[in-house]
Amino acid sequence: MSRFCPLQCMKSTKNNAEKIAVLILNMDLGCDISPPIFHHLWDKAVFRACADGGANFVYDVIQKGTNGNRTKHMPDLISGDFDSIRPEAKQFFENQNGISIVHTPDQDATDFTKSLKLISEKIYQKLIDVNLIVALGGKQDRFDHSMANISTLFQAANFLPQHVRICLMFGSSYVCSLPKGKSIIEVNTGLEGDWCGLIPIGNPVNLTTTGLKWNLTNEKLEFGELISTSNELDGSNEVTVETDHPLIWTLAFKTLHSDT
């Protein structure tokens, strides 16, 4: 059984129970993710990484900053096949101290997947102490990229340590993969939005839920048949999902305010 709070990462940094790594995918500020969410998560992270073109985004943030706050935006790791990072961004980061820049030319895996594997290696080697990886962005205007990102969420279960969760956040959407078995999802942060969904990918799933406006009781979800989209929370503090195969959980989140 797994228990987690999807949006705890968006709460105050005073809570140190959750140690997060942030991985920036190729994205545009204000389009793929809002500035307050990026700055909150980037500042809170104990490890910061960019997947290829994600470094362009961080480079632009740094260039817009003042001399006094530029250093806090520096990533710890930049990796990818480097077909998307701009030359001036790559040269800038190569000239900084303490940034690991790793070329991963393998074309059979996405930069997202390859970056996750590098972060996973650092966790296994105890070079970093992380229990949540938050991936931001991903150019969700590209459907092929969106599907590749979902595939990576499923692949991550094969190489991430069991105690480490991975999620993807873009726009107002939180996305993660739920494992086979029972998951208890805490939805009491006050940041939960108006909708949620349970999406089977690859395999039909049989599942039972509680805590939703439209619960499922030993029902089959399958593409081309029933899938649970535009569902809602029922006001409970928890959602439970019991499934015989992994599937996607997605949840809307609200804009951050200064008191979060």
CATH of region 18-171, choose from 1.10.645.10, 1.10.287.3510, 3.40.50.10240, 3.50.50.60: 3.40.50.10240
| 127 closest CA partner among 158, 104, 100, 105 | 100
- DSSP-assigned letters across all residues of 115-167: HHHHHHHHHHTTSS--SEEEEE---TT-HHHHHHHHHHHHHGGGTS-TT-EEE
Residues forming CATH 3.40.50.10240 domain(s) in the chain: 18-171
Look up residue 190 and give its two tokens: 């006050």
pLDDT digits (tens, 9 = 90+) for 175-228: 999 999 999 999 999 999 999 999 999 899 999 999 999 999 999 999 999 999
Task: Please tell me what DSSP assigns to residue 72.
Answer: G
Distance separating alpha carbons of residues 78 and 64, to the nearest angstrom: 20
* Region 135-164 average pLDDT: 90
CATH 3.30.450.80 fits 173-254, yes or no: no
pLDDT at 28 over 80: no
Residues forming CATH 2.60.120.320 domain(s) in the chain: 173-254
* Region 146-174 average pLDDT: 94
The reported pLDDT for the residue numbered 11 is 87
Strands (DSSP E) found in the chain: 2-4, 20-24, 47-51, 77-80, 100-103, 132-136, 165-170, 173-178, 181-186, 192-199, 205-210, 219-221, 228-231, 238-243, 247-253
pLDDT digits (tens, 9 = 90+) for 249-259: 999 999 876 54
Residues 49 and 113: beta-carbon distance below 8 Å: no
Look up residue 98 and give its two tokens: 């303490």
* Region 107-131 average pLDDT: 95
Distance separating alpha carbons of residues 200 and 203, to the nearest angstrom: 6
Burial class from Cβ neighbours inside 10 Å (0-12, 13-18, 19+) for residue 106 reads exposed
Whether the predicted model's global pTM rises above the 0.85 cut? yes
pLDDT at 64 over 90: no
Amino acid found at 183: S
